[in-house]
Amino acid sequence: MKRTTHATITTVLFDLDGTLVDSMPDLAYCSNQSLSELGRPMLSEERLSTFVGKGLERLIIRFLADDIEATSADPALFQQAKAIFKRHYHASNGDRSVLYPQVREGLDRLKAMGLSLGIVTNKPMEFTTPLVEKKGILPYFDVLVGGDTCEHKKPHPQPLLYAMEQLQSDSHHTVFVGDSLNDSAAAAAAAIPCLMLPYGYNEGQAITPPVHGAVVDDLVAVAQWVERQNALSETN
């Protein structure tokens, strides 16, 4: 879809883990509790952070193998590990997680502009809503899309397209904010610009500027980018 040079942004969609919330301490805790109960060596939080990004099931497969390239596991072992992980995560989701600096300030600024805001994450909804609520940012958002809301997860564009549909927006008036190649790939597939944050989880890879969008420091910088974009649209 061809983009208008300076279209007015009315909708901002966000990834969750590594973008709004540093949830790695909780994810690492639950991963290591799972490994411990299975009699396996625990892994460092830094190592586990490279396994995050493609959903809960892929995280479990990766930490069982201690291999970012792993795509499958013994079915019985996987189900056992998944049950242990979910038990611990239901009990502790959000306990160790914190909002990144400038998140609340950036969200305040975007809401003051009258924009529609949404979250599009690969985290299952059973963990997404409680985490967003526990961190006190649920009222900012008009839609939450989890990893099990649609048939496909990011980097497939379907979750972003679904969120835009729910918010009655389209690719000309939407921007996606994320921290990983999954996010920039999903945005590109959905034909929307992507603003990348440098502080999150990117499966151990360096952040590269998206073709359509920019790398920005934090959510206040996101709001400033939208303000500039919309000021340009008014002069067209």
Structure tokens at 14: 């966000």
User: Of 109, 138, 108, nearest to 125 (Cα)?
Assistant: 138
Residues in the chain: 236
**Cis preceding linkage at 155, omega within 30:** yes
Structure tokens at 25: 């301490």
Angle, helices 24-37/56-65, rounded to nearest 10 degrees: 50
Burial grade of 137 (CB within 10 A; 0-12, 13-18, 19 or more)? buried
Residue 15 is assigned to a ligand binding site: yes
The DSSP 8-state label assigned to residue 200 in this structure reads: S
Residues pairing with 22 in the sheet: 98
User: How many angstroms separate the CA atoms of 184 and 120, rounded?
Assistant: 13
User: How many angstroms separate the CA atoms of 98 and 100, rounded?
Assistant: 6
Residues taking part in catalysis: 15
Residue 179 is assigned to a ligand binding site: yes
CB atoms within 10 A of CB 187: 31
Chain center to CA of 148: 13
Q: Which residues sit in the known binding site for Mg(2+)?
A: 15, 17, 179
Q: Which residues sit in the known binding site?
A: 15, 17, 179
